[in-house]
Each structure stands twice: as structure tokens, then as C-alpha cells.
Structure 1
Amino acid sequence: MSFCRILSVLLFLSLGNQGFSQIKSKVTGQVLDVVKSEPLVGANVYWEGQVSTGTITDIDGNFTLEAMTFPSKLVISYLGYEKSIRVIQAKEAEKPIKFYLKPEELSLQEVIIQERRPDEQVKNLEIGKASVPIETIKNIPALFGEVDLFRSLQLLPGVQTAGEGTTGLFVRGGSADQNLVQLDGAPVYNASHFFGVFSVFNPDALKKVDLYKGNMPSQFGGRASSLIDVSLREGGKDQIHGEGGIGTISSRLSIDGPLFGKNSSFILSARRTYADVFLKLSSDPNLNNNKLNFYDLSGKFSFVIGEKDKLSISTYQGSDLLGLDNQFALGWSNWVSAVNWNRVSSESSFFDMQAYHSRYSYKVDFEDRDNGFEWTNSLSESGVKAAWTKVIKEPTTVNWGVHSQVYHFAPTDLIPAPDSPISPINTRSVQGILNNLFVGLAHDFSPKVSTEAGLRWGLFNQLGSGMQYFYPNDLPEPNQDPTDSLAFGNLESMKFYQGLEPRIAFRYLINPEFSVKLAYNRNFQYVQIASNSSAGLPIDRWILAGNYTPPIRSDQVSLGLFKNFQSNRWEVSLEGYYKDLDNVIDLRNGAQVLFTDRVETELLTGRGWAYGLEFLLRKNTGKTTGWLAYTWSRAWRQIDGISRNQPYNPRFDRPHDVTLVLNHEFSPSWTAGLTMVYTTGQAVSFPVGSYVVDNQTVPLYSDFRNQNRFPAYHRMDASVTWKNADKGRKWRGSWNFGVYNLYGRKNPFAYEFRTIFNDDINFSLSDGEIFSARPGVVMTYLFTFLPSLTYNFQF
């Protein structure tokens, strides 16, 4: 019996030690797409039979899950991918585990909108945030067949456009320069090609895009209205992949794959138009000597350094050129670079560091013997940002950090031709530095009540060298000379501003499918554009905060109701907001801001406000997906010296905006897309009369600004896509046929008030004898029925 007892004890200890050795407190891993090795965000990870205690993957596809007694079955699921069930052994769980999911061919079209948790909009704290999956953007009918990021964002509630053929965005009553557009954390100062017809982002190279128009986290700031956060995707780590397209006016190609083995990857992307190639084929000498093209290049190099560190280097370079008969040329370009270092210090502590540089420049050449000139200008921003995140306890997360930005706005140089009577112009450069400290806290008080609070403190200095002017009664006037001036040396402080930017948001979960959210957000903006054009031009002048141009202050309150139906198949939301703006600028009538060191004499400063309701109904899964959006909104400005000091609407005030976006899968090979848009016409000033000066009829305008409107804007776009079924082929191709403005609506781009001779709007004074003359209005429109054909491919 004694031997049996001893044997029993030894057997018990052996089994017991084995059981204890198989228990690990945490299991970590990463979920990836098997084709491209890209991380899958929001994948469900849980032990078999214990769905309620599972977790989801983060932005890098990583997860951490409480361990079980091994061996145990781990389940990985993601919408549109085959479910993975894997038996995990104790030894296997000692290190991070990688899981590769295979796409389900028959369900790929069902994930057009669903690249996030099905109940995300109800359960998260975010209000006024929209995430548009790249696959959704690629399936929206496009102008010239050119898939465009900004044109897709215009289809969301609360986002207005400047008009036909432009990608300028006006978010919740803010002007276009009140949007911070950043690529992997680096700002992009002119994010458009072809004078705003296309944005600079090639969708094949993008991972995701987030639009913050309401509550903005404390780590972001610098603009009064919104943040458009664009991320380049990482290359696959298994083999070389490629995708691209050949379209009506441009072609594109992206290649990605491993760089130096499994721990590094790259992606390179290029796009170029060939409109200038078609111009050379014309027999008209007025056309075949013209140049019209743009290109962009982007790349990202990612490196995994050990188990805790990750480094990525991102870069973008793009350029536009418009040349007319070798006499006039306008070109502009962006160069953006960013380095990001991410470190996972522990399971609950994270560190991110970023350094970036962004430069924008333009050049105008006018070849003329008598009046020729060359005009150049550039601006740049460099910055460093460090952020720490700490999960104190499971319901409480704290983040804090610092962000330093250096601005350099170069002089405007106008150099006349040798025999030109034009005088040279050289304005002063302007410098500034902005240091930001930020802290944020997220806490779940209960399963129903969550809050997020943040504080950002900005300290801005305008720096010399420079000149500060003084005016009578401290009021700059264009026809009044300054009474005195003060010179500042290099890097000497000329003007200092500081401001606290509190942010707070609440979410109350009424039930698992219905929530209420409330948020307050304050932002300061220390740079803004002084321009006569609401659409945005390459030569627009950026203004740094200074003695007579204080920073814009924006306060916004948002309230939203969010509801899901039919197991998250349907989403509906209703958001209301009120935004108050202070220190917004506008130009005096007839202002000239491009070639002056005393730009403050051409500007007027005042206040603004905006309010609105945004409705969104979205279908996430099924053969037919898409959304219906309606926005009712108003935007106002009140600035002394404009419109007799009375409130007026900026041009982008459009009270009613309706969009419908649909995508339907007929079969694995055939899909179709449809977009419908209706919006109130933009606010404008039409002449109230005319008068004659030197035998020329000149229009007379009212003192009140923007009291008239263009007709309502509406159009319908449609597209059909055919693709080969994916049966293991290395080369996968598809054809897309689209029609922009399906029923040929002539939406006005501009109106010209002039004298019409012989009842012919195209009649020129050199065309012959004049029989009649009358005042008239000539409407210009850009696009009617416009078909396109694009071949897309992957390999």
C-alpha cells in the first residue's frame, strides 16, 4: 500500500505540474490576409464555446486574449473570410502566433462597406467620425473612371463641395483650409490635382481613411473643422504582389512585397495622366503645343525590429503642369515624408514617435518679350510628435504626449523678363513654431456609460526676421500708410499666442443596438488661407497667425443617436451640431493679397457660426449595400466691413444635401454601382445693375454679399464591373464601364455677365459686322454625359 500511495502522489504531481505548465496568463498573436499579408482590423478572436470573453484585433491585426488550459481550440473569424479554428498547444502559445485567413470569393462583395466591427457605430465613443473603406471608394462610379478619395468623402453627411469638378471639402460650415489633411501623420497643404478635379491620393496605395468632423482626440489638432487622416498600406511579407489600372485619362501601378525577408516589406505606387499625349495628336496648333498632366509617386517601407518595435518610412511626391502654347506655364508640387516608430513596451503600455517634413511649392512662367515674368513661392512644415498610451486597468486608458511644429513660408518672388517693364517683387518670408502638449483619458463607468476626455495646450510664436507695422487706431487700411514699424531679428519672437483646447465625449448605451452620444470640442488654428476662391487654387496664399491675424478658435457641440437593426445589417444615425467660430478672415472687396508684405490691410476678421442635422442610413451586408444620407445645415459669417456688418452666407452654405450610394452584386463576376446627388446651389453675388466706363459696361454689385444662389445641383452616376472569378489565377483582371452625369444635367460652374452681340454668345468683335447688342448672362458648365472605361488588374 505504501508503494501505491507513493506512486499515486508522484503521478498526481506529474499531472499537476503538466497542467500548470500548460496555463499561460495571456495569448498574443496577429491576424493577416493570406493573399497580401495585410493585418485584418476588427477580426473576432475567442476560445471555442466562449464568444462572450473574446476580443478583436487592433489596427495592426494584433490581439491579446486570456489563456485557457491547453490544448484548446482558438476561433478566428472575419466578415468575408473563411473562419479559422486552430488547436493551440502550450509550447505554441509561448510566443506570438500568426493566423492567415483566406477570403471567401462568394462573399467579397459583401464587405464593400464592412471593414470594422458590425456594432462599432453604436458601442464606440466616436461621434462625427466616418471611416470609408478603400474597397468602397473603388466601387463608387467616378469622374473619367478615376477613383478619388475626396470625391467619395463628399458623399458623406456634413461634407459639402465647392461645385462641379472640384474636390474641395467644406465640413460642417468650415472653409476648405480648416481641414487638416495628413498622410501617415504628415500634413498635405494642397491635396488636389487638375485644379481640384482629383485628389493626390492613389487609392491602390491606401490602407484606410478616417474623417473626424465632430469629436477629435486630443492627440490631433491644428485645424478648426476636421481631420482627414489617410494611411498608406504596408506591403505583403510573403511574395511580390501588384495591382493597377489603365483608364480613360490616366494609368496607375502599385507593387508590394518583402524587402529583406519576412521582417520587412515595401510598397511603391505610381500614377500619371496622359492628357498631354492626346493633345499632341490634335491637328489644331492651338492645342497640340499645350501641356496638361499630373503624376504622383508614393512609397512605404516597414521594418519589424524584434518583438516590440516597428519602424516605417513613408514618402509621397506629386506634381502638376499646365502649359499653354509654350507661352504660359503653371506648375505645383508636393513632397511629403514621414518616419514612424511604434513600440509595444508591455501588454498595457505603448509608445509612438513620428517625424515628418512637408513642402508645397508652385511656379508660374509667362514667356513674353514685353511683359514676361517668373513667379515662385513655397511653404513647408516640419514636426516631431511623441505619444504614450497606458492601459491602467481594463476600463481605463490614458494617453499623453507632445507635438512640435515648425512653419516656414518662403518669400514670393516675381522676377520680370530682361526687357519687361514690370517691377520685381520680393516679399518677406514668415516663420512660426507651435508646441503642443496633450493628454487624454478614456474610461468605462459601466457597460452602459463611457466617457473620453482630453486637453490640448498649444503655444505659438511668430518668429523673425520680419517687420511689424503700426496703423492709426490700430486698424490696418489698404489706402493708409503705417505710422511706424518695428524690425525683428532672426528667430526673434514677434507675436505669441496660446490656447487650451478641451475635448470631452459621453456615450450612453440604451441597449446593445441603440446608443446616445454627446461631445464638446475646441480647436485653435494658427494658419489659414486668404483667397478670393472658395474652390481653392494652387496659388492661394497661406497666412500665419500674427499681430493682426489671431488664430481661429472653434467650439463645437455634437449630439447623436445611433441605432443598428437586423443583427447589424442596417445602421441608422442622426447627428446634430452647433459650431461657433471666432477670428475667421475674409477679404475686402477688390483685395490683392499675393504680392504684399502688409497682407493685414487686405483682410477683415470677425466671427462665424454653423449648425445642422445629419441623417445616415447604411446597409452593410447582402447582395445590395450602400447608404442614403441627408444633411440640413446653415453656415454664417459676420465681419465688420463686409455686407454692411450684417450676417451673410459664405459660398459653401448649402442648406440641403442628399446623396444615395448603391452597389449590387448580380454574380461573382458582375457588379454595378449607382450614385445620386442633390444639393442646394452655392451662395453667390449677382449684379444688381450696370454702369458704363470708357464705353465699357461694368456690372454693379450690392453691398450685401452672397444674397443669390446658383440653381440646385444634381446628377446621377452609374458603373458596371465585370471580373474573372478568382480560381487561383496569378493574374486577375476586371473591366469597369462608368457614366458620370448619366442624364446629362448641365450644372452651372460659373456665370458671366457681359454684352452679347448678334444674339451669339460666341461672337467676337473680330468676326464681322455687329447688328445687335444686349446685356446677357452666359453660363459655363463643365461636364454632361461623360463615359469612361477602365481595366483594373492584380497579380
Structure 2
Amino acid sequence: MKFFLLTISLFSFLCISVYAQENSLTVKGIILEAGTNVPLPGANVYWEMDPQKGDISNVDGLFSVPQVTLPATLIITYIGFEKISQTITETDNLGSLRILLRPEERSLEEVVVTERRADENVRGMEMGKSILPISTIKNIPALFGEVDLLRSLQLLPGIQTAGEGTTGLFVRGGSSDQNLIQIDGAPVYNPSHFFGFFSVFNPDALENVELYRGNIPAQYGGRLSSLVDVSLKEGNTQSIRGEGGIGTISSRLTVDGPLFSDKSSFVISGRRTYADIFLGLANDPNIRNNALHFYDLSGKLMFRPTEKDKITISSYYGSDYLGLSELFGFGWSNWVNSGVWKRSISDILFLDVNLYYSQYNYEVSFSDEENGFVWDNKLAETGGKVDLMFLPNDKWKINAGYHGQYYGFAPISLLPDPGSAISTIETNPRNGIQNNFYISSLYDISEGLSIEAGLRLGLYNQVGKGVSYIYESGVPQSNESITDTITYSSFANMKFYNGLEPRVALRYMISPSLSFKAAYNRNFQYIQVATNSSAGLPIDRWVPAGPHISPIRSDQYSIGLFQNLSNNMWEVSIESYYKDFNNIIDLRQGANIIFTDNIETEIRTGRGWAYGLEFLLRKNIGKTTGWLGYTYSRTYRQIEGISMGLPFNPRFDRPHDLSLVLNHQINSVWSTSFTFVYTTGQAVTFPIGVYDIDTQRVPLYGPMRNEDRFPDYHRADASVTYKRPDAGRKWRGSWNFSIYNIYGRKNPFSYQFTEILNEEINFTPTPEQPIVTRRPGVVKTYLFTFLPSITYNFEF
């Protein structure tokens, strides 16, 4: 703690000293889209006479460039918009310029719109950072034609998937719960629909998506592996606009426009599947009475009470439900709310305040006179962030702030129906309070060398109301080893942890188009998932750190080379990393985690490590755009009590991962897209034999974990888009025809080791048809082969 306070004092002293010595005049302003007044993030702003003195507009369209001898010409460029040359004189308001950009009337630019500076990948400090423009995501061929954010991110280097059709992200050796996925600063605990086949993000409602898998900024924490920062779209302030689509299994609609005046706006977006409508048309009543659907609804309000203030309020609600003939019901939902206040205190000091609430719950019900029950659970996080950004001069940026979090994990309860033979089960709640303080500084030492250093301090308390168990020898081995129970009242301290998270990065410009970067990050994670599935299920159990479960920690080292070619037309990068994990958990063999109150007896703790090499070749300009990515990576765990205490690979260890994404604009009307993916098969455990129980043969598994593998996975997808010529129409439509898995590869989803009776997979013996032959067999299940879809998209 003393070290942290000393560091803050040192940073403060340096800030005051440098500002006093190097304060320089600046020219500030905002970049807006003409006609809508929507801020444009990522626009390039620089002086014609000195291009090195420039800036990139932030998410609010704001920029700041060093002042030069006036009059001078300011150049503003943004791909997809007309280039602006504006003469600035002493008589202009140098503290609040207002610059309007008009879209270019060329459909080609819609494909290559980017939200970053053309050479940002070379000149920026970030490592392992990826930005996927929403326009690019919408062009990628998708399962059932459903454009999906998380599946698009899986096509980037360093990101693995759990299997066919799933949206879980496994980043640089981390599990899916080690990703912080947030909407406007609020975390999302289950970012998937349809058991992981689709993500909760409607692309029409999104403004910006950033993925950090390497050098995560100090203002973010709480997860080990990555940050997926999603921003909802802000409405335009001039007129009502809309867009949407009608697809194979769902439809969507987004409407935005001014709210009260040109200083406020709204966006509302909705999406729903209609699989249940088709089920209702079936002749079979067993199918007709089933229900299967998901929907999501999001909205955002924006207010600009003054030139220096902006307030946004956003909310997302999404729900899934599966019902089988009114006997079985399974549903889950996310409710995420965020409020953000941004204020320009002065030309060099900016304030961001974010308050949020995120809730996730699920319910399983079974209607039966003898065994009926309702099983439900809810978890929630409430938080607040305060961030100050200080810009002493054009070479130095400082961020400092605070982030407070309250975790509320409600009891897991199973309530039997009246007359049911099932007993009531209810666990105790688990709650936690986490306080985080951080400070970071980015400084340009010279034209070619920049360094960024940060420090984050996390203070975590597990608090009551709750129960802690005392075990023999202090080791939670089983229920039988419990010797005593301690009950805590509300907010009483049960266990305290703290951790310092240093982060440092440097960038050296070898040439104007080639840079070398290196970074080190330490992260602590105080909540994690205990699950039997690597893919992630709606009923996965989140577990906070406590008396018997320590927070997990990771240390990541990474280096890389980044180069742009042919005037930023091509990007090439090579990154390598090594990551250590400590106090990572896994389940013991045969663990039961669903209803146990002392889950610490079902898990084992150990260490892990991962390393890899990532290659990316990306083309950003021209009729043909896209990227080729390749990753070589290995991931290991070593946990006492699992795999005889020897290192083993988790299921998401896939050494080779290749992805190719191509978009081609044939003309102003037709465009095509193509993707190809290849990965090593996931690591699994196959049985080593069988044994008999009550005339049934059951697979026998050995002590070693994940020594086998599925066959290698590969698939190609393609799509064609026809866009009607605008010709001044208010209604603009397009048709998308896509094919998932165009050559029908039968990639395995699962293998079942069972007995084959009478050479039939699902044979049921009867007196008339007795069992004649019996042999062990393996049944492969695959989900999709050749799968076409069609979607109609529109704008008005």
C-alpha cells in the first residue's frame, strides 16, 4: 500500500512539474457528420505544414492538436467521408472548433470504413488490440445468416473457440470466464443466446467494438485474459432513421433520431427469433406445444446539456426460453444498465463518470406430480467508475481513477412442487465488495520512443450475509471433513484479499512504417466459473474468492513487430506471448457443483501457463479487403489431484488456428464475402475400457485428462450481397445470400461411447425383437453441414 501511495505521489509531482515547464497552446474541436451531428471517432486531424503534429478524434469526436504559426491549414480525413482542408486563423475559436464531414457518395467506402487512424496499429501503444468495424462484421458470412459479433472476433489471431457454432472466446490460454465483456462500461455475465450459438449483440445497435488481449489499460481490470469493450450506437440529432433485417430465423429493427432538440437523441433496437412460430405450425402436437425463442431489446438516450457535458443512459435486456410440451422449461436473461457522464473540465482535464447495474438469472422448471420442481438463481453486479484524464501537453497523457464493485450471488434454490418427492435445496448467498484504484501515464520520450506505465490496486472483501465452513487440517476435502460452521451477518468481513497490478508497455519506431512493441501485464480475477463444460452453459456457477478459494492471477509478457505497406494499404504484424496463471481452479473427477453449498470441496487449485505466436496480414483499402490470421499456441494446467498431478491440456488447447476473411466489392450493387477456418481438434478424454453395472456397459476413463483429440476442424463459408441502387430513395434495401459450411464438412460436436445393439444405434429390444448382437461402438454427432440462408436488410 505504501508503494502504491508513493507511486501516486510521484506521478502527481511529475505531472505538475512537466505541465509547468512544457505547457503549450493547443487547438481543440469536434468532428461531426454533416446532417446528423453524430460524432465521428477515429478521424485523422493534422496540420498541412507539419503532419507529425496531429491527433485522432476520440469516441466523442473530440481532438486536440498543438498550435502552430497561424494562419495554417488543418487537414481532416475519415475513410468514407470527404477530405476537409480548413484554414485556421487567430480569430477562430481555437478551443472549440466545429468541423462537419460529409459522406462520400461511393458505395465502395462502406466496406472499408474504419474507426481508427490508418497507421494506428504501428504508431499506437496497444498490443493485442483489435478493432472490427461494424460494417466489416456485417459482411462476414454467418450461421443462419445471423451476423454475430463474438463469432467474428473468433476469426482473429489468438482467439480460440470451444467448438462448432459456439460464441465463447478463449483468449491466449484463458477460459471463457476470463474475458470482461461489457456494454457501455457494464459487464455482461452470459453474452450468448441459444446455448452459445448466437451472441447477445445485435449488430445494428452497435457503434464500436474493441478487443484487448495483450496490453490491457490500467483503468480496466477484474479479468485475466481479455477485454471486449462494446459501445451502443448513439442516435443522430437531425432526423428519424431506421434499419433492420428479416432473416431465416430472426428479424430485427433499429430506429434512432432526435429526442427533444439537436442536443439530444434516442436509439431503440430489438431482435426476436421466430423458431417457435414454425413449431406451432407442426402437425405433431408434441412438437407444436414446444417453445424455443430468444429476443433482445436495447436503447440509448443522449443529452448534451452544455458544450462541455454529455450524458448517456443505455439499457439492454435479453431473454432465452426453451419449453418442451409444457413439462420442462428452461430460461435465462440478462439485464444491463449504464449511465455515463462525460465532462470537459478544461482544455487539459476531462472527467468520465460511469454508474451501472448488471443482472443475470436463470430458471429451470419441471412439471410432474411426483418429481416437479423449480430451480432458479440470480447474480448481479453494481458498480461505479470515476476516471480523470489529464493532458499536460501533446506528448503526455495521464489517467487516474477509481472503480467500485458490489457482487451479489443469490442462493441457488430448488423448490419442489406441492406433493413432489424431491426435497428442498438451498445454498447460502455469497457477496463481495471490490475497490480498485489506478493510475497510468503515456509519455512520448522522443519521436520514435514512447512508454506507458500503469498501476492498479484491487482491494477485495468477501462479505456476509453468508456461511464459512471449517475443515479438518484446514483443507476442504469433503463434506465429511467439516468440523464447524461460522455464520456472518450482512456486510461482515469474511475474507480480505488485495493485489497490485503493474502494467508497462513501450513502442519504438524503427522506421515511419515499422515499430517494435513490448508489454507486461499483471491481472487479478476475484470471481470465476466452476463448470463441467468448456463451452459455457447458462447454468454455469460463478464463484467469488473467499476463505477457501483464492483469487487467480496472471502475468503476461508479449513482444511484437508491426508494419504497414503500400501507404497503409496492408498491415503485417507478428506477436508472441507467454502467460503464467496462479491459483487457477478446475473440478475434481466426478465433481457435483450444482447444489452444493461448500463448493470448495469439489474443486482443485493449481497453476497454468500458455505461450504462442500470432501472425496477421490485413488489407484495408481497395475493392478486395480482409485478413489472413494464423496462431500457434499451447496451453497447460497442472493441478494436484487431476491427471495424477502432471501437466495436461484444457479442452480449448488448439495448437494450430488459421482463418481467412475476404470481402470483395464487385461493383456498386454486388459484393461477396468468403471465410475459411482451420483448427486443431479440441483436447478430450476418451475411455480406456468398459465395465458392467446392472447389465449395462459403462465407459471406463483413466486417470489422465485430455490426452486425446477430436479430428481437426475446418469449414468454409460464403455470401453474396445485392444492394439496390439508392437513386435518391428513402427506403434502401439489400439481399444477402449466405452458405455456412459450403463443402459439407461433418465436424464432430460430440462422441458417445455406447453399446451397439443388433447393429443399430437406437435399437430398443422387445420380446419380438430380442438382442442378437452386442458390441461397443462410438456415435459421432455433428450439427451442421451445407446450410444456406437468406436475409433481407433495409434502411430508411
Task: Indicate the TM-score class for this superposition, using the shorter chain for normalisation.
Answer: over 0.9
Deviates more, 1:477-486 or 1:143-152: 477-486
Measured at CA, do residues 729 and 27 of structure 1 come closer, stay the same or move farther in structure 2, by a change above 3 Å? Answer: farther
Measured at CA, do residues 486 and 278 of structure 1 come closer, stay the same or move farther in structure 2, by a change above 3 Å? Answer: same
**After the TM superposition, which residues 144-293 of structure 1 pair with which residues of structure 2 at under 5 Å, given as runs?**
144-293=144-293
SS of 1:706's equivalent in the other structure is coil
Counterpart residue identity of residue 346, structure 1: S
Whole-Å Cα distance in 1 between the matches of residues 673 and 39 of structure 2?
27
Matched, 1:660 2:670: no
CA contact (8 A) 1:114 1:621 kept: no
CA positional deviation for 1:481:
3.2
For structure 1, which runs of at least 5 residues remain unmatched after alignment? 1-23
1:359 aligns with: 359
Counterpart residue identity of residue 743, structure 2: Y
CA contact (8 A) 1:386 1:401 kept: yes
CA positional deviation for 1:412:
0.9
CA positional deviation for 1:50:
4.9
CA contact (8 A) 1:109 1:623 kept: no
1:314 aligns with: 314
CA positional deviation for 1:80:
2.0
Whole-Å Cα distance in 2 between the matches of residues 45 and 420 of structure 1?
70
2:637 aligns with: 637
SS of 1:346's equivalent in the other structure is coil
Measured at CA, do residues 358 and 743 of structure 1 come closer, stay the same or move farther in structure 2, by a change above 3 Å? Answer: same
2:11 aligns with: none
SS of 1:279's equivalent in the other structure is helix
Matched, 1:794 2:795: yes
CA contact (8 A) 1:113 1:625 kept: no
CA contact (8 A) 1:113 1:132 kept: no
1:330 aligns with: 330
For structure 2, which runs of at least 5 residues remain unmatched after alignment? 1-23
Whole-Å Cα distance in 2 between the matches of residues 50 and 495 of structure 1?
57
Matched, 1:709 2:709: yes
2:778 aligns with: 777
Matched, 1:99 2:99: yes
CA positional deviation for 1:165:
1.5
CA positional deviation for 1:360:
0.3
Deviations, residues 267-287 of structure 1 (Å, cap 9, x unaligned): 100000000001111112221
Whole-Å Cα distance in 1 between the matches of residues 303 and 753 of structure 2?
60
Deviates more, 1:90-99 or 1:237-246: 90-99
Using the size of structure 1 for normalisation, the TM-score is 0.95
Whole-Å Cα distance in 1 between the matches of residues 651 and 530 of structure 2?
15
SS of 2:108's equivalent in the other structure is helix
Whole-Å Cα distance in 2 between the matches of residues 307 and 204 of structure 1?
28
Measured at CA, do residues 504 and 50 of structure 1 come closer, stay the same or move farther in structure 2, by a change above 3 Å? Answer: closer
Whole-Å Cα distance in 2 between the matches of residues 103 and 459 of structure 1?
48
**After the TM superposition, which residues 375-454 of structure 1 pair with which residues of structure 2 at under 5 Å, given as runs?**
375-454=375-454
**After the TM superposition, which residues 677-716 of structure 1 pair with which residues of structure 2 at under 5 Å, given as runs?**
677-716=677-716
1:750 aligns with: 750
1:627 aligns with: 627
Counterpart residue identity of residue 789, structure 1: I
CA contact (8 A) 2:79 2:113 kept: no
**After the TM superposition, which residues 534-553 of structure 1 pair with which residues of structure 2 at under 5 Å, given as runs?**
534-553=534-553
Deviates more, 1:479-488 or 1:152-161: 479-488
1:554 aligns with: 554
CA contact (8 A) 1:110 1:620 kept: no
Measured at CA, do residues 479 and 598 of structure 1 come closer, stay the same or move farther in structure 2, by a change above 3 Å? Answer: closer
Whole-Å Cα distance in 1 between the matches of residues 111 and 58 of structure 2?
18
CA positional deviation for 1:473:
1.9
2:496 aligns with: 496
CA positional deviation for 1:77:
2.1
Counterpart residue identity of residue 182, structure 1: Q
CA positional deviation for 1:757:
1.7
Using the size of structure 2 for normalisation, the TM-score is 0.95
Specify the structure having the higher radius of gyration (Cα): 1
CA contact (8 A) 1:691 1:700 kept: yes
Counterpart residue identity of residue 771, structure 2: I
2:8 aligns with: none
CA contact (8 A) 1:532 1:587 kept: yes
Q: How many residues in Structure 1 have an aligned counterpart in Structure 2?
A: 772
SS of 2:279's equivalent in the other structure is helix
Counterpart residue identity of residue 205, structure 1: A
Counterpart residue identity of residue 521, structure 2: N
1:6 aligns with: none
CA positional deviation for 1:439:
0.4
Identity %: 59
Measured at CA, do residues 224 and 67 of structure 1 come closer, stay the same or move farther in structure 2, by a change above 3 Å? Answer: closer
CA positional deviation for 1:444:
0.7
Whole-Å Cα distance in 1 between the matches of residues 89 and 391 of structure 2?
28
Whole-Å Cα distance in 1 between the matches of residues 71 and 260 of structure 2?
35
Whole-Å Cα distance in 2 between the matches of residues 507 and 718 of structure 1?
38
CA positional deviation for 1:46:
4.1
Measured at CA, do residues 560 and 730 of structure 1 come closer, stay the same or move farther in structure 2, by a change above 3 Å? Answer: same
Measured at CA, do residues 55 and 506 of structure 1 come closer, stay the same or move farther in structure 2, by a change above 3 Å? Answer: closer
Whole-Å Cα distance in 2 between the matches of residues 493 and 73 of structure 1?
61
Deviates more, 1:414-423 or 1:59-68: 59-68
**After the TM superposition, which residues 596-615 of structure 1 pair with which residues of structure 2 at under 5 Å, given as runs?**
596-615=596-615
CA positional deviation for 1:113:
6.0
Deviations, residues 448-503 of structure 1 (Å, cap 9, x unaligned): 11000000000000001222112122221225231222222221100000000000
Counterpart residue identity of residue 743, structure 1: Y
SS of 2:345's equivalent in the other structure is strand
CA positional deviation for 1:62:
1.7
1:29 aligns with: 29
CA positional deviation for 1:422:
0.6
Matched, 1:762 2:762: yes
Deviations, residues 212-257 of structure 1 (Å, cap 9, x unaligned): 1111111000001111111111100111110100000000000011
Measured at CA, do residues 220 and 95 of structure 1 come closer, stay the same or move farther in structure 2, by a change above 3 Å? Answer: closer
CA positional deviation for 1:112:
2.8
SS of 2:480's equivalent in the other structure is coil
CA contact (8 A) 2:43 2:115 kept: no
Cα RMSD for the two superposed structures: 1.7
CA positional deviation for 1:391:
1.1
Measured at CA, do residues 590 and 93 of structure 1 come closer, stay the same or move farther in structure 2, by a change above 3 Å? Answer: same
Counterpart residue identity of residue 792, structure 2: Y
SS of 2:381's equivalent in the other structure is strand
Counterpart residue identity of residue 774, structure 1: R
Whole-Å Cα distance in 2 between the matches of residues 171 and 69 of structure 1?
48
SS of 2:361's equivalent in the other structure is strand
1:725 aligns with: 725
Measured at CA, do residues 647 and 543 of structure 1 come closer, stay the same or move farther in structure 2, by a change above 3 Å? Answer: same
SS of 1:539's equivalent in the other structure is coil
Deviations, residues 519-562 of structure 1 (Å, cap 9, x unaligned): 00000000000100100111111000011110000100001111
